[in-house]
Amino acid sequence: MVDRGASALSLPDDWPAHPDPILALNRMGSFDWDLDTGLFHMDARAHEIFDMRPEEYDGTPETLALRVPPAEATRLDALVAQAIKDGSENYGAYFRMRRRDGTQHWTHTQGYIRRDETGRPRRIIGIVRDATEELSERAAHGDEAALDDARREQTNVVQLTTAALAHARTVQDVIDVLKDTEGLTHLGATSLVMGLVEADRIRLVAEGPEGSFVPGTLVTRIDEPYPMSEVVRTLIPRFIESPEEFAAGYPILWPHITDLKITAAAYLPLIVQARPIGAMGLLYSDRDGFSSAERNILVALGSSIAQSLQRAMFYEQERDIAQGLQQAMLPRTIPSVPGADVAVRYRAATIGGSAGRDIGGDWYDLIPLPGGRVGAVIGDVQGHDTHAAAVMGQLRIVLRAYAAEGHTPATVMARASVFLHELDTDRFATCLYAEADLSTGVVQVVRAGHIDPLVRAPDGTCRRVPVEGGLPLGLSAEFGSLEYPVSTLELDPGHTLVLCTDGLVEQPGADVDDGMHALTALIAAGPDDVRKLADVLIEVAEERGGDDDVALLLLRRRGLDAPRTGRRLQQHVAPGDPEALTQARHMIRAAVRAWGGRDRSDEVELVADELITNALMHTEGAAIVTLRVLTGPDRRLRVDVEDSSSALPRRREAGESGVSGRGLLLVDLLTDVWGVEARGGGKCVWCEFVVPGRT
C-alpha cells in the first residue's frame, strides 16, 4: 500500500467512539484513510484481522507492509489508484496476508471513496474481514478456477449494483434501479420491499411485487411485529431460511404473502453513521438458506444502498428547498395588461455535479405603470445556488419599486446597479428593462450586459433588435459607469416582444450569435399564440438540458380590434372556508345576470364552481376567481381561476361508477373556449362564454 504522507496520529472528529454494531456482529473491522495526511486509522477488530498490536502500528499504511506480501500490496495499490482515477465511489478486493506465525490468510476489503465538492478524493472509509473460512468452503466444492469465479462474482455483485446506483438522484431512482429486472437478477431476489424511517414509524416506499401490498403496512410503528421494524430496532439483519421460519416468526404478516411462494427472505437495516434510515427486504422463491459468504455480501450491499439512499434523500430535501426558494423569489402572479397578451415561463437548471442545486438567478417581472404603460423585466444573477436566488429576489423587488416610483428606464437601471453594488455580495447581474406604452406602441429599452430582445411580426418573421447597452448591474456602480443609453422601438399591433435569458441561447461549443440565429428561426416557425409559443420555447430548453436556468417573457400588443376589458370583479376563496365559496357563487350569478348574460348564468356558475373546487382540492393554497366582460366582435364573459400550483390539469375519462374525472369534460362541453396559462409560480385556468350584447 502507498504511503501518502504521515503526521502525528490523531483521530478525526467524526471517528465513532464504538464500532458499528452491525460490523462487529459480522466480524468485520473498519478503517478510515485520510488521503490528505496519509493517516490510516483502524478499529480494534481491524487490528485483530491484520494481526497487528496497537503498539506495533504507527497509523500509516506503510506499517501494514509487514503483513501484506509485496505482490498483493502492489495489486491493491493499483486497484485503489484506478478507482480514484475512474471517479468510482467504491472498490472491493480479496487479498492474502501473512500473520506473525507465518500462516497465510485470505482477507476481503471494501472501501468507499469520499470526495469533496470539486470531485477531489479526500478520504476512504471501509471494512476488512477475514475471508479464509469463506473461501475455503468454496474451494471444497470446486477447483481453483471455480474459486476465482466465486471471488469475482462476490465482488461484482456489490460493484454492479453500486455502479447502477451511482446515477440515482432521487429515492425513486434508487428504488427503480433495485426493482429493475436486471437489478433483481444481480441480487438474486424475486422481489424487493423497502421502507424509510420517519420519526418512530416506517413508511413503505417500495411495495414488492404487484398485488402483494399488505393492508395496514403503508406506515407502521417501529415496535410492531414486522421484519423491517425488527431490523430497524435491533440494527441486526434478519435472514429467514424457510417458509416455516417466516410463518413462525411473523404470524401477522405471513398469511398475506403466502401466495407469493416465498422460500427465503433477507431483511437488512439501512444504516448511515450508526443511525437507521430505513430497511430493505429481499424476497426469494428459489432459495433455501444463506451461506456466510452470501450473508456478508448482502450486509455489504445494504451498506452501499444505504449510502445511495441517504444521498438521494439529501438531494430531494435540497431540491425542495431550492424550488421553494425559487418560486418565492419569482412573481406569484403576472397582472393582466390591457391591450397586451403576456406569457412567462421559467425552467430550472439541471446540474448533474451538484445534487440539489437545481436553482439559479434568472427572473422575469411585469410591472403595471401609470398611464397605461407596462414595464417588462428579464434578468440573470451570476451563479446557480441559493445565494444567487436570494440576490435575485432582492433585485427584482427594488427594480419594481424604482419603476413604480416613476423613474425613467435609465434611472431605474442605474439605481438597481448601485443597490446591488452595496449589497453584501460579490455577484453581478445582467438585465434588460423595457417600458412599453401600449396605446402608442412605443417601447423604451435599457440593457445592462444582457442579450438583445427579439420582435416577432404577425406574419411570423422574427428579427433581433440591437440595443445599445451598459455594464451589468453591480459592475457599472463599481467602475463608476452608471450611464445606460435608452433605445426606442415601435411595437405595432400584433407584434410580439420576446425577452429571455442566455440559457435559451447559449449551447456548448456554439457561438452566442449562432444561438441567437437559431432562436430567431425557432420563434419564426412557432405558433402565433404567445402562450403556445412560450411552451414551444421552454420545451426546447427542456430537451436540450444544460446547466443554466431559463427565464422567458413574451408580450404581444393586441390589434386595434382585439377585445377590450370591460367590467371586472374579483373574489379570494380561502381553503376550508365554505362561506367564501358561497359568496363567490352568489357574486358570479349576480354579476352574470346584471351584465346581460342571464341565459348562460347557470352554465357560468357551474363551470366557475368546478374550477374553484378543483383549485381548492388539488393545491395547497387559496383560489382567486376573476369575472370580467370582454367587448369586441363577440361580447364575452371571461372567468379566471388562479392557484399557486404549476401542475397542469389533465383531462381523463371517468368510469361508470367514478365520482371524479368529469370536471374538464364539463368545462369543455359548456364553455365556448378555455385554456390554461402560467402565472409566476402557479397557473390560471380560464374560460369564456359568448353572451349577447346589451340593448
pLDDT in the model for residue 139: 58
Q: Span 92-103, mean pLDDT? A: 88
Confidence at 459, pLDDT banded by 50, 70, 90: very high
Q: Are 241 and 247 in contact (CB under 8 A)?
A: no
Whole-angstrom distance, CA of residue 77 vs CA of residue 71: 10
Question: For the chain, how far is it from start to end, CA to CA, in angstroms?
Answer: 96
β-sheet bridge partners, residue 279: 195, 269
Whole-angstrom distance, CA of residue 100 vs CA of residue 92: 25
Which string of DSSP letters, residue by residue, matches 398-458?
A: HHHHHHHTT--HHHHHHHHHHHHHHSS----EEEEEEEEETTTTEEEEEEEBPPPPEEE-T
* Closest to 631 in 3D by CA, of 368, 338, 343: 338
- The per-residue b/e assignment along 606-624, b for 16 or more CB within 10 angstroms, e otherwise, is ebbebbbebbbeebeebbb
pLDDT in tens, 553-596: 999 998 654 444 456 777 778 887 777 787 788 778 878 887 88
pLDDT in tens, 105-115: 899 999 989 88
Number of other residues whose CB lies within 10 A of the CB of residue 563: 16
Residues with Cβ < 8 Å from 21, sequence gap 6 or more?
A: 235, 236, 274
Q: How remote is the C-alpha of 72 from its chain's centroid? A: 44
Strand 462-464 versus strand 496-500 pairing type: unpaired
- Quote the cell numbers at residue 611: 374550477
H or E element that contains 163: helix 144-165
Percentage of the residues of the chain whose pLDDT score is greater than 70 = 82
Whole-angstrom distance, CA of residue 687 vs CA of residue 44: 73
* CA dist list (Å): 562 to 469, 553, 591, 613: 34, 21, 23, 31
Phi and psi based region of residue 274 (left: phi greater than 0; alpha: psi -120 to 50; beta: remaining): left
β-sheet bridge partners, residue 641: 625, 685
* Closest to 170 in 3D by CA, of 312, 298, 297, 15: 312
**Residue type at 245 in one-letter notation:** E
Q: Span 598-618, mean pLDDT? A: 89
Q: Which of 137-146, 309-318, 410-419, 554-563 has the lowest mean pLDDT?
A: 137-146
pLDDT in the model for residue 154: 56
- Quote the cell numbers at residue 124: 476512504
* CA dist list (Å): 419 to 259, 299, 436, 469, 689: 69, 57, 24, 19, 47
Whole-angstrom distance, CA of residue 180 vs CA of residue 5: 43
* Closest to 309 in 3D by CA, of 269, 349, 362: 269
Largest CA distance in the chain: 111
Half-sphere exposure of 134 (CA within 13 A, CB side): 21
More confident residue, 107 or 170: 107
Query: Mean pLDDT in the chain?
Result: 81
Percentage of the residues of the chain whose pLDDT score is greater than 90 = 22
* CA dist list (Å): 41 to 8, 9, 59, 97, 310: 12, 9, 6, 18, 24
Whether this model's pTM surpasses 0.75: no
Phi and psi based region of residue 664 (left: phi greater than 0; alpha: psi -120 to 50; beta: remaining): alpha
Residues with Cβ < 8 Å from 506, sequence gap 6 or more?
A: 512, 515, 548
pLDDT in the model for residue 441: 81
Is the model's pLDDT at 94 over the cut of 50? yes
Name the most confidently modeled range: 231-245, 315-329, 558-572: 231-245
- Quote the cell numbers at residue 376: 417588462
pLDDT in tens, 490-549: 888 999 999 999 888 877 667 788 889 999 999 999 999 999 999 999 888 888 766 778
Q: Is 370 exposed, middle or buried (0-12, 13-18, 19+ CB in 10 A)?
A: exposed
- Phi, then psi, of 562 in degrees rounded to 5: -70, 155
* Closest to 295 in 3D by CA, of 431, 183, 523, 137: 137
Confidence at 458, pLDDT banded by 50, 70, 90: very high
Is the model's pLDDT at 165 over the cut of 80? no
* Closest to 488 in 3D by CA, of 429, 437, 530: 437
pLDDT in tens, 338-357: 889 999 998 876 654 443 44
pLDDT in tens, 70-82: 888 888 888 998 9
